[in-house]
Chain A
Amino acid sequence: MILDVFSLAALLATLAALPRLVFGPSAEDRIIAAQLAGTGTVATLILLGVASGTPALYDVALVFAALAAVAGLAFVALRGGRT
């Protein structure tokens, strides 16, 4: 099925951000790589929900979206940068 191929491609795009997450030169590089990983996880879960016909995975994707929204804001807030 072609949707399985698409979900695998979304998972590979998520994993491709991981070298930047580990070896990123600065902390900002790491946090934007983490943001791409969060979005890619949401996309992968949505595609898996479509491919396997289980719409409960959309709710799991919603939880991941809420967590990814908190992570970046907490980074900027706790870093104490200029406003």
Chain B
Amino acid sequence: MSAFFSILGIGLIATGVGFLALAALGLWRLPDLLSRLHVLTKADTAGLSLIALGAACLTGTRAEILPLMLCVLLIAISGATVGQLIARSVTPRGGRS
């Protein structure tokens, strides 16, 4: 069971690091602001969530899992909110189509 969680944690962390690298690549290569915002708000949150889930699989106790869950919650809420607000502030007519 411990070996299973170890392998699962390594796999989740590898996937999350892949998502983070994809977000950085998209931020570097995509042409305009809205597509950069699009790739950032999804891949960023997915990458950090997968990394924290893998770290929770690799570390044991509940007292260590609680800060990881709080990190993911804060980053998910703030990432989605900031993406929405920035997209609304650069769209004509205030984003109301």
Write the residues of chain A forming the contact surface with B, with a CB cutoff of 8 angstroms: 2-3, 6, 9-10, 12-14, 16-17, 19-20, 26, 28-29, 31-33, 35-36, 39-40, 42-43, 46-47, 49-50, 55, 58-59, 61-62, 65-66, 68-69, 72-73, 75-76, 79, 81-83
Contacts and interface: CB of A to CB of B under 8 A. Distances in A.
Contact of A20 (B16, B28, B70, B74): B28
Interface in B58-91: 58-59, 63-64, 67-68, 70-71, 74-75, 77-79, 81-83, 85-86, 88-90
Contacts of A50: 13, 54-55, 58-59
Closest 7 CB pairs of A and B: A72-B82, A69-B78, A81-B89, A58-B67, A16-B24, A76-B85, A65-B74
Contacts of B51: 10, 43, 46-47
A79 B82 CA distance: 13
20 contacts: A9-B21, A12-B21, A14-B24, A20-B36, A32-B82, A32-B86, A36-B40, A40-B24, A42-B71, A46-B51, A46-B68, A47-B51, A50-B54, A58-B55, A61-B67, A62-B71, A68-B78, A69-B74, A73-B85, A82-B89
A31 B52 CA distance: 24
Interface of B: 10, 13-14, 16-17, 20-21, 23-25, 27-28, 33, 36-37, 40, 44-45, 47-48, 51-52, 54-55, 58-59, 63-64, 67-68, 70-71, 74-75, 77-79, 81-83, 85-86, 88-90, 94-95
Nearest to A15: B24
